[in-house]
Amino acid sequence: MKLCFNTIACRNEEERLLEIIAEIAGLDKYKAIELWIPDIAKTDREKARHLAALCAEKELDLPIVSSVLGVLRLEMDDLEEQLKLCQKLATLAEWLGARLVRAFPGFVGEITSRDPDPEYYKWVVDAFRQYCRILADSGLTLVSETHCDTFVDTTEGALKFVEDVGEPNHGFILQLGIVPRWSGMDALQFYRALQDKVLHMHLHPYPWQEHEDNISHYAQLLPVLEKEKVDFYVSVENCKALVPPLEAARWSAEIIRRFVAGEKVSAPENS
* Residue 267 belongs to a domain: no
pLDDT of residue 271: 55
* Residue 271 belongs to a domain: no
* Residue 194 belongs to a domain: yes
Indicate the number of domains in the chain. 1
* Residue 57 belongs to a domain: yes
pTM of the complete model: 0.95
CATH number at residue 234: 3.20.20.150
Residue 226: which residues within 8 A CB-CB, separation 6 or more? Answer: 1, 260
Structural domain span for residue 168: 2-261
What backbone torsions phi and psi does residue 112 show, to the nearest 5 degrees?
-165, 155
* Residue 96 belongs to a domain: yes
pLDDT of residue 270: 60
* Residue 51 belongs to a domain: yes
* Residue 269 belongs to a domain: no
What backbone torsions phi and psi does residue 132 show, to the nearest 5 degrees?
-60, -40
* Residue 147 belongs to a domain: yes
Full pLDDT tens readout for the chain, 271 residues: 999 999 998 876 666 888 999 999 999 999 999 999 875 667 789 989 999 999 999 999 999 999 999 999 999 999 999 999 999 999 999 999 999 999 999 999 999 999 999 999 999 999 999 999 999 999 999 999 999 999 999 999 999 999 999 999 999 999 999 999 999 999 999 999 999 999 999 999 888 877 889 999 999 999 999 999 999 999 999 887 778 899 999 999 999 999 999 998 887 766 5
Closest CA to 138 of 65, 231, 39: 65
